[in-house]
Structure formats: structure tokens, C-alpha cells
Amino acid sequence: MAIRRHKNGWEVDVTSRRAGIRIKRIVGTKKEATALEAEIHQQIIRDTLVDRGIEQGLERYLNGEATGLKSYDSLLSISRALLPHVEGRTFGQVGEVADNIKTTMLTDGLAKATINRRLALLRRLCNLAYDWGWTSQNQSRRVKLLPGETERHYYLTPDQVESIAANCPHTGDLIRIAAYTGLRRGELLGLKSDQISDQFIILGTDTKTARPRLVPIPEQIAQIVDDLPLPLPPNTNHILRTEFEAARASAGMQHIRFHDLRHTCASLLAQAGATLHLIGKAMGHSTPTMTNRYAHLVSDNLLDLARRLDGLGASK
């Protein structure tokens, strides 16, 4: 049914498979709804639809320019979370959509950083809709991110890494490699056999920062890296995600993300006495600012070194 009662009036719900769109709007009276439905159908026939659907924009983006992004898998995950909120909604309703996302997701206990990533995708779609000529005005200004977002870092101990890895029967070694090399998920999943040398993993320019780097291989995972069946099967990412989420829940660490294994590597490097400069090189940071987030770890390590000097006291 294209027209139905709604708690706020009358809802018009029009779907066109030919045009690949679905439009939902709410008006005050049934007469207004009938007129709006007829107008939408005429716009579809004339291909002059002024306010196209956000869902249609998301589909075009995911099937178009987004396919070349290194973060495409992450983008798909964000899109799945966003989809229930944009189904049948138009770019003219994006302010209402954004407010609903914030209210619902805050109520569900999601972190502000998580919500803002989803709002950022919504804002990106608004920019694209304007570029495509779908909207006469850029609606992105109506999507406001949540203020007060705090950067969160969790560092696992070697025992915690092992407790998660041990509960991942097919991908445990990938988790160990991520924790002890700091490889990003995409870098890890995209490894090829010619990138492995005796002491280093050799990364080219097809990384997030587009800069080549050498990643040292610690002795405790050297055999694991050597035995890795490269290239990894296409379904590895799905298996890794499924096993990791189950293992962290089993270990009582639901708050841990896969990316925290990368932070863990930086922590372990700092504990081993590495300077911020060396940590930045090993992690492949594009700027010193990226590495400065670990400054407190290095500072703690330097204090520990200073305490060791106490026992050496100067002779009088």
C-alpha cells in the first residue's frame, strides 16, 4: 500500500524498481498524501525526481567510487548499520534522519566515535548527492557530529592476546601477527609470499598512507609468519571477524576492537624501549602527531629506566 495512516499524519511510500528508488514521506492529510503520491509517480516517469532517496545514493556510492577504497570492508559494515535509518528517506529529510541516528544509537549505548563514523558516511552521501545533481542544495550541513568524542585506546597484555587467539581455531595466528607487528587488517589480509623476508614484512605503497615500510618480525611469531598460507583465501576476512568477535566475548573483552591489536603492538614496542621515532616507523605513521598518542607509554618506560639508574649511584 502506497498510502497509509501514520502516527504523525499520512505516510506516502512509493517504490520504483525501474528507477531503483524508494521514497517515504509523511504529510498531514490523506488528500495531501494522494496528491504527493501522484506527483512522485509523475516525476519518476519524467525522470525529474527532485529529492532522491538516501538509500539509492548509498547503493550508487558502494557500487561505484567506494569499491576502490582500502577501507571498503569497514565501509560495508558501517553501511549495514546505517541502512535501517535511511530506508525510504530522502536527502530532504537528512536532518531528521541524523537526529534519529543519534537518539537511537546513544540509547543503545554506542560510543560517540562509532556514531560519528556512521554520521560521517551520511554526510558524505549528502555531498555526493549534490555533486550528482540530485539536490539543489548541499544538505551535509544538516548532519552534525556528536561533540565530546574521546579517542579510546586499549592495550592488551601478551596473555590477553593469547587468550583471544587461542579461541580462534582458524585465524588465531593472524591475531598473533597483528598484535606483534601492528599490521592493519587490510595489510594483513592482503599479504603475499614475496612480501616476507627473513626478518621483515615488506609493505609497498598500496597501504593506507601510500608509503612503503619494513615491518620487523619478532622472533616469537617468525615461524607463524613463515607458515602462513599466502595469499589468504577470499573468505578469511569474514572468518576472522566472526571468530574474533566470539573470542573477545568469551574472554570478557567485548570492548576490544581488532584495531586495538595495532595499539597493543605500539605498547609492546614502548615496553621494549623503543623511541617514539622508531614506533612511528614500525607502525607506518604518516606524521609524528599520529605517534604522539603513545608518548605516555614511552614516558612511563623512560621513568622505569631512570629508576634502574638509582642503583648505580655516584660514588663519593
3-state secondary structure of 241: helix
Q: Is the pTM of this model over 0.85?
A: no
278-300 pLDDT, tens digit per residue, is 888 888 877 777 677 777 666 66
Instruction: Identify which of 173, 171, 183 has the alpha carbon closest to the alpha carbon of residue 235.
Output: 171
Q: Phi and psi of 16, rounded to 5°?
A: -130, 110
Tell whether 112 is covered by a domain.
yes
287: in domain? yes
Same domain as 271, residue 164: yes
Count: domains in the chain: 3
Statement to judge: residues 181 and 143 lie in one domain: no
Domain of residue 195 covers 158-307
Q: Is residue 25 part of a domain?
A: yes
- 269: cell is 614496542
Q: Do 75 and 215 lie in a common domain?
A: no
Residue 316 covered by a domain: no
**25 and 60 co-located in one domain:** no
DSSP run (H or E) holding 15: strand 9-16
Angle between helices 72-86 and 94-107 (to 10 degrees): 100
- Tell whether 43 and 62 lie within a shared domain: no
Q: Is the peptide bond before 169 cis (omega within 30 degrees of 0)?
A: no
**All cell numbers assigned to 199:** 626478518
Question: CA 211 to CA 281: how far, in whole Å?
Answer: 11
With 0-12 / 13-18 / 19 or more C-beta atoms within 10 angstroms meaning exposed / middle / buried, residue 124 is middle
147-183 confidence digits (pLDDT tens): 876 666 789 999 999 999 999 999 999 999 999 999 9
Q: Tell me: do 185 and 288 sit in the same domain.
A: yes
Q: Give percent of the chain above pLDDT 70.
A: 84
CA 211 – CA 227 distance, rounded (Å): 26
In a domain, 313, yes or no: no
Q: Per-residue pLDDT tens for 60-119?
A: 899 998 988 777 888 999 999 999 999 878 888 899 999 999 999 999 988 888 899 999
